[in-house]
Structure formats: structure tokens, C-alpha cells
Amino acid sequence: MNIALGQWSVSREWQENANTIIQLMQDADRQGARLLVLPEAVLARDNQDSQWVIEAAQALDGPFIQQLLAASQTLGVTTLFTLHVPAGENKARNVLVALRGGEILLTYDKIHLYDAFTVRESDKVIAGHTLPPLLQVDEFKVGVMTCYDLRFPEMARALALQGAELLVLPAAWLKGANKELHWELLTRARALENTCYLAASGECGVKNIGHSLVVDPLGLVIAQAGERPQLIFAQLDKAHLTAVREQLPVLQNCRLSSASPQVLSPGD
């Protein structure tokens, strides 16, 4: 399966970002991609005003999503990203959306909010509480996560145990000391420890690192962007995934529950 990852510097104006996404969708579809992964919080961003993502938030039936749904009607590519949706009391939900053929296929509210490195996402965003269902894209079962979820291996493992073969991650990974190292280390680890493909798309620009990448089930980076706006592609091979899981059956051999650190009894 051919997949694409798009990254750019998100604008303050939602219409500019909608236009960028539609162009990326069309370009990815034209080049045969069946899945397009875009960054986190793509509706609107102002690097000088952290409150803007809340003020600019739109409902899922608002004009931003409606334009993308209309554009997707004639395209075969499945597109994933997150946006902020109003939640009342001057807060929002950080919602991952998967859309294809004019329909929303899946939504997921970000579970792990980024309260780290002097940032407090929970001041503005309400956390989700439900692990997302898997999404079928051609022959691959896809599990979704959002940005900071990457630092919690239990989530990726739970999705893999449900049957995920590809993990996708929209992100806005902040710049900072060793942050590019963390990004590559964690994406490769989540792929390898769960013998899954992983596709992570990061916003680029003043605050975030970009460096969108695709990792194979053995933890090898098979496609990677730099720091500038870019659309990259990678081929996922189901036969390779199957072969890796036969050689390295960690999901079968695991005797720990993903819900609690208890050794399971024989036969569980």
C-alpha cells in the first residue's frame, strides 16, 4: 500500500489551512496514495497567541471539515489529522478525524494531554477517555494516536493487540533540546516493539520540528521529511509485516496485560 505524509507550517487562518490540505489530498491521490497522514491541530495556529487554537476551534459540522469532506468525495485517499473542536467553558477537544469519500470514518479525542516541558495542554483541552477503534484502509488495519500518546507504550500495545498493523500519529512535536532524538527514538521503538508499521506526521515551522517519518515493523526508517513543508511517500508491504511477525512473535509471546502490569496465567 502506498501512503503519504504531508507537513507544513499551520497558518492562523483556517481557510489557508483548508486550501493546503485539499491540495495535499489531491496530490497524494494523484500519486496513488491510499492513506494521507497530516499533522496535529491543523485548523489554525498562532505562534504568538496560544489561546488562538481555542478561539478558532470549529465543530465537526463547521465549514473547515465540510470543505474537506466535499473535496474528498471524488478521491480514493483516506486522510487523517487533528483539529480543535469547541467543548464549552473556554476549552476544546483535540479530535483526530479520518475521512474518505465525503464521509467521516472515525473520530478520536486525544487521551494523553501534553502537560510536560513547561507546557500544559490540559489548561485548554479536555482529555479523551476511550481508546479509538481500528480503521480499515485497503488490506491494513490502522490504529490511531495523537502526538504525546507516542510516549505511552501501553496505548500502542493495546492497539496492536486489537489487531493494528499500522500505527498513525498526527503530531506537533515541539522543538527543544534532543527533541528530534526523542521523536525518532520513540517512533522506531513503538514500531519495533509492536511489529507494526508506523507513520508519524509532524507540523514544521517556527515551533515544531517537522521530520515526518515512516518506520517499518523492524524499527527501520523507510521514509523521512526534513524541516520544511513536504509531501513524502512510502510503500507498505503486508507480506513483509507477516514475515516479521513470524520471526519476531512478540505479540503472541507477551504475557503481560496491556491494562495492568500483571503476569497472565498460562492459557490467558
| Residues acting as catalytic residues | 40, 110, 147
* Long-range contacts (CB closer than 8 Å, 24 or more residues apart) made by 228-232: 228/204, 229/7, 229/8, 229/9, 229/204, 230/6, 230/7, 230/204, 231/4, 231/5, 231/6, 231/24, 231/27, 231/28, 232/4, 232/5
Whole-angstrom Cα distance, residue 115 to residue 75? Answer: 37
Strand order in the sheet with 221-224: 135-137, 140-144, 166-171, 197-202, 213-215, 221-224
Cβ(97)–Cβ(39) under 8 Å? no
> What is the spatial distance between Cα 125 and Cα 115, in angstroms, rounded to a whole number?
11
